[in-house]
Amino acid sequence: MTPDLLSSDKVIITAAITGGIHGKEANPHIPISPEEQAQAARACYDAGASVLHLHVRGKDGMNTPDLAVYNKAVRLIGESCPLIRQIGNGIGARLDEQWNIVHPTLEQRLNLLNIDPAPEMHTINAGTFEFRTRYGGITFENPMSFNEAYVRGCRERGFVVEIEVYDLGHIANAREMLDSGVLRPPLHFSIVLGILGGAAATPANLLRMVELLPEGSSWQVVTVGKYHLRTEVLAMAMGGNVRTGMEDTLHYGQGEPVKSNAQLVERMARLAREMGREPATVEEARRMLGLPAGKGA
């Protein structure tokens, strides 16, 4: 697919407000409880986001596969604003009492399909790789058979899937699922850059990965770490969508901690407008992502 450099389309801004790894020890402003998440969601909506990417935390502040927490967070977020709710199926990784990294099982991850009230979107992660964090390496297991089961589950329930690709081979995996009919076009991608273990955040990597996407796909960039801002700006200039939020960056500028998720969304909306690209409203994003019109439309 050729990047549309002259695109004047709307930009979908996704807010990834919490993530599944770091907590208040890394930045005290990260929303952890469902109540804090609902407040952050509202502020991100007011600042120009149209999608909310979600991981949840238990009472200990660590990520959890507990459906009761997901149900509460999804419900409270839905009551606070009309953002499209997207569940990150990676859930996250946590340390046990012996400081071993523990990852949720594939079964626990499949169970996210049963969140009630049902959110509109889910991610899949299109390949297994070692995801290295400040806490150590995590083998992020995403076998094809699991992804196929997840996608089928999403289709049965009418959920839209976003495909997270961290490297070139993951795009090949997504193409295989498209060719076999498991995934149906148009596809929606997150190109994730800057994770140790995945592709680095460079212009050449972003351009190549966009070129490899199946024709007609929509895409956003997710940039983790130091090059967050410049890579997001590059993606907007290329006609792509963007994700920001405290899952992806804890710094607003060098040595300057983020004060809130809305602060990051506001900046992205401002930069989009400066480029002549208006942030998509929730209804526009729903149309762009193939979701039915919302209740308020």
Interface residues with Zn ion (CB under 5 A) are: 88
**Contact set for ligand KMH, span 176-215 (CB under 6 A):** 192, 195
Site mask, ligand KMH, residues 106-145, x = CB under 6 A?
-----------------x-x--------------------
Nearest distance from C-beta of residue 137 to Zn ion, angstroms: 18
List residues bridging with 101 in a β-sheet.
Answer: 95
Q: How far apart, in whole angstroms, are the C-alpha atoms of residue 177 and residue 99?
A: 37
**Contact set for ligand KMH, span 227-246 (CB under 6 A):** none
Q: Which residues contact 256 (CB under 8 A, 6 or more apart)?
A: none
Whether the Cβ atoms of residue 212 and residue 171 lie closer than 8 Å to each other:
yes
Nearest distance from C-beta of residue 5 to ligand KMH, angstroms: 26
> Among the candidate windows 1-9, 88-96, 110-118, 234-242, which touches ligand KMH by CB under 6 A?
88-96
Output 232 or 247, the one with its CB closest to ligand KMH.
247
Nearest distance from C-beta of residue 123 to ligand KMH, angstroms: 4
Output 88 or 104, the one with its CB closest to Zn ion.
88
126: nearest Cα among 83, 162, 158? 162
Q: How far apart, in whole angstroms, are the C-alpha atoms of residue 194 and residue 8?
A: 27
Q: How far apart, in whole angstroms, are the C-alpha atoms of residue 33 and residue 90?
A: 19
DSSP secondary structure letters along 169-232: HHHHHHHHHHHTTSS-SSPEEEEEES-BTB--S-HHHHHHHHHHSPTT-EEEEEE-STTHHHHH
Nearest distance from C-beta of residue 55 to Zn ion, angstroms: 6
Q: How far apart, in whole angstroms, are the C-alpha atoms of residue 12 and residue 158?
A: 21
Judged by CB under 6 A, does residue 88 bind ligand KMH? yes
Output 136 or 292, the one with its CB closest to ligand KMH.
136
From the list ligand KMH, Zn ion, none, pick the one residue 260 interacts with, judged by a Cβ distance below 5 to 8 Å according to partner type. Answer: none
Judged by CB under 6 A, does residue 65 bind ligand KMH? no
Nearest distance from C-beta of residue 158 to ligand KMH, angstroms: 19
Q: How far apart, in whole angstroms, are the C-alpha atoms of residue 10 and residue 273?
A: 10
Output 92 or 239, the one with its CB closest to Zn ion.
92
Nearest distance from C-beta of residue 184 to Zn ion, angstroms: 23
Output 164 or 266, the one with its CB closest to Zn ion.
164
Judged by CB under 6 A, does residue 19 bind ligand KMH? yes
Nearest distance from C-beta of residue 19 to ligand KMH, angstroms: 6
Task: Annotate 73-103 with b (16+ C-beta within 10 A) or e (fewer).
Answer: bbbbbbebbbbbbbbbbbbbbbeeeeeeeeb
- Residue 226 in tokens: 């130091």
For ligand KMH, the binding residues (CB under 6 A) are 19, 88-90, 123, 125, 164, 192, 195, 222, 224, 247
